[in-house]
Chain A
């Protein structure tokens, strides 16, 4: 292999080598398997809108999509899954499917659809990392792609509104995180002591969630309660991307603002929450006569008693 393999990906921030989940997966796997990659970030180039990231260039051929890139690396004899049994290999596929189905929609929502996060974190970051005039288009395009993906895969006919889908996807994501935590237990990695592709996938998904300073992050709070996943993430950062991981010793998202700004932020958040609550109350008042389940949910026990007493047909 005369020339090194070249990887195009989004740049890094918040102690991570890349803020983009798929790029992070590939970077982590490369570290695990010992592949030397020449990492080229697409920030501030026209590739932010033309390229589908991550992209691996090698001897004229181009590979996209994390699973394809990992297969390609395996063919080049960079295999981190060498010691897995057949059953563990099957488990890897199953857990990756679980991540994609349950966790990815909630991650997309947290970063791209949730208005507070999008306006205060995601859009400014991607805007500042794209060249003029693309900075007007890139974040909006990603956000609409994320929203359409969530709605098309998760929204069934009674749940056509994004707000109703939210509840469902966040509860599924929390369940998925709990399942991952149970599976990891007290081990360092998912299959014993050596990292594998499943570890790369899990790291790629949860690392941005742990490290990003999200203004409104209920999923982040849930993840912070799962200590073993936080430690897993920090251990990988320390051992494989050792640069700035020493700064962070705990896994709570730290804000670097001084106290005055923090208070102002809290005040604005409270005001936002209040106005959201008032809007929701307004909606409820408007729709309550037709919206029967709300009336039922306040007295389930009484109704259960009624049903028991009536004869069944």
Chain B
């Protein structure tokens, strides 16, 4: 959105309270959604729960195409459609709900820096593993991504998405990396997060912020998703304070949700944390 349109949206957003029928759209949970999308979606859901805002999760096969920016998840609130965690945080702030008001400027700078670290390293690594690693792409990503469609559309869409992601990896210089280097980067990122978290309950001591939501979304999804091998999950598991952080947030915000929807574990997701 252009800057003027963004300012306009936040002004309109401020005018109405949060409705009861706000909906979050994501790809189909059992068959279609991939690791990176699932992580982003969980991050947004966690953030909204932390703010205490009710939202219904609706799974659609064409969620990616409905989204204004092409990224999932996106939320439909009243008359607006907003996608991506950054814009959703801005949107909820315009409505008067914010988790990071108590932070001073330096802390806010740190929070933004860590969110960029997660996006830069973890999300890019997830995309790399899904689409640039041939084995994972053939076994998991392509079949899942194109499962709602029939032949020949499924092949075309899957290869198109793969080509797009590989182009992006090329542009940022990740195409020269081997899988081991990517795992090493994930490990370093987790180490940085673990050191920043230390023994605190949340990243900025007592109050959860959008950084906590983002980190939880990614780490929980990595830990509970079955890929071709478990190496990614092992890298995360080696940091015990991150594991207990995930447990804590899961207990605090997802207790009822856990029992309802994740009891029937699918082939892809292993359900709750081990």
Q: What are the interface flags for B102-134 relative to A under an 8 Å C-beta threshold, 1 for contact and 0 otherwise? A: 000110111011101101110000000000000
The residue from B120, B171, B195 contacting A100, defined by CB atoms under 8 A apart: B120
Of the candidates A86, A293, A307, the one whose C-beta lies within 8 Å of that of B195 is A86
Cβ A149 vs Cβ B2 within 8 A: no
Q: Chain B residues near A149 (CB, 8 Å)?
A: 171-172
Q: Is A61 an interface residue (CB 8 A)?
A: no
Of B136-144, B185-193, B248-256, the stretch lying at the interface with chain A is B185-193
Give the contact-size bracket for chain B: 35 or more
Say yes or no for A98: interface residue by CB 8 A criterion: yes
CB distance from B176 to the nearest CB of A (A): 9
Question: Chain A, 76-102, contact with B by CB distance < 8 Å: what is the 0/1 string?
Answer: 000000000011011101110110111
Q: Chain A: how many interface residues by the 8 Å CB criterion? A: 42
Contact A93 B112 (CB under 8 A): no
C-alpha gap A149/B170 in the complex (Å): 9
Interface centre among B2, B3, B109, B196 (most CB of A within 10 A): B109
B contact residues around A98 at 8 Å (CB): 112-113, 116-117
**Cα of A102 to Cα of B69 in the assembled complex, Å:** 18
Which chain A residues lie closer than 8 Å to B161 at the CB level?
none
Q: Which of B79, B120, B173 contacts A97 (CB 8 A)?
A: B120
Question: Which residues from chain B contact A153 at a C-beta distance below 8 Å?
Answer: 168, 171-172
| A158 and B193 within 8 A (CB) | no
- What B residues does A293 contact at CB under 8 A? 2, 4-5, 8
**Are A156 and B195 in contact, CB atoms less than 8 angstroms apart?**
no
A33 to B181, CA, bound (A): 26
A101 to B114: give the CA distance in the assembly, Å: 12
- Cβ-defined contact, A307 with B113, below 8 A: no
Q: Does A185 contact B (CB under 8 A)?
A: yes
From A180, which residue of chain B is reached at the shortest CB distance? B109
Residues of chain B with a CB closer than 8 A to A97's CB: 113, 116-117, 119-121
Q: Does A94 contact B192, Cβ atoms closer than 8 Å?
A: yes
Question: With an 8 A cutoff between CB atoms, is A168 at the interface?
Answer: yes
Q: Which residue of B lies closest to A307 (CB)?
A: B15
Inter-chain contact A156/B70, CB cutoff 8 Å: yes
- Distance of A148 Cα from B243 Cα, bound (Å): 38
- B54 contacts the other chain (CB 8 A): no
B101 CB to nearest A CB, Å: 16
Q: Which chain B residues border A185 with CB–CB below 8 Å?
A: 106
Known: A182-B106, A183-B106. A164 touches B198 (CB 8 A): no
Find out whether the CB atom of A183 lies under 8 angstroms from the CB atom of B167.
Answer: no
Q: Find the A residue at minimum CB distance from B193.
A: A90
* Cβ of A297 under 8 Å from chain B: yes
Q: How would you classify the secondary structure of chain A's contact residues: helix, strand, loop or mixed?
A: helix
0/1 interface trace, chain B 181-218, chain A, CB 8 Å (1 if under): 00000001101111110100000000000000000000
Do the beta carbons of A158 and B1 come within 8 Å of each other?
A: yes
Check if A183 sits within 8 Å of B109, measured CB to CB: yes
Residues of chain B in range 7-36 having any CB-CB distance to chain A below 8 Å = 7-8, 11-12, 15-16, 19
How many whole Å from B98's CB to the nearest CB in chain A? 17
Judge whether A312 and B16 touch: CB under 8 Å. yes
Q: Are B113 and A94 in contact (CB under 8 A)?
A: yes
Q: Is A264 an interface residue (CB 8 A)?
A: no
- State the CA gap A39–B109 with chains docked (Å): 35
Instruction: Say yes or no for A1: interface residue by CB 8 A criterion.
Output: no
Minimum distance in angstroms from B245 CB to a CB of chain A? 14
- What is the bound-complex CA distance between A283 and B168, given in angstroms? 30
Q: Does A167 have its Cβ within 8 Å of any Cβ on chain B?
A: yes
Q: Is the CB of B189 within 8 A of A93?
A: yes
Q: Which residue of B lies closest to A101 (CB)?
A: B116
* A303 interfacial contact with B, CB 8 Å: yes
Given A90-B193, A152-B167, A158-B1, A304 and B110 contact (CB-CB distance below 8 Å): no
> 8 nearest interchain CB pairs?
A90-B192, A179-B109, A94-B113, A97-B117, A156-B69, A86-B195, A98-B113, A97-B120
What are some 27 contacts across the A-B interface (CB < 8 A)? A87-B195, A87-B196, A89-B195, A90-B196, A91-B110, A91-B196, A93-B188, A94-B113, A94-B117, A97-B113, A101-B116, A149-B171, A153-B172, A179-B105, A179-B112, A180-B109, A182-B106, A182-B108, A294-B4, A296-B8, A297-B5, A297-B7, A300-B8, A300-B11, A301-B11, A307-B15, A307-B79
15 more contacts with CB within 8 A, not counting A93-B188, A95-B113, are: A86-B195, A93-B192, A97-B120, A98-B113, A98-B116, A101-B119, A152-B172, A179-B108, A183-B110, A293-B4, A293-B5, A296-B8, A301-B11, A304-B11, A304-B12
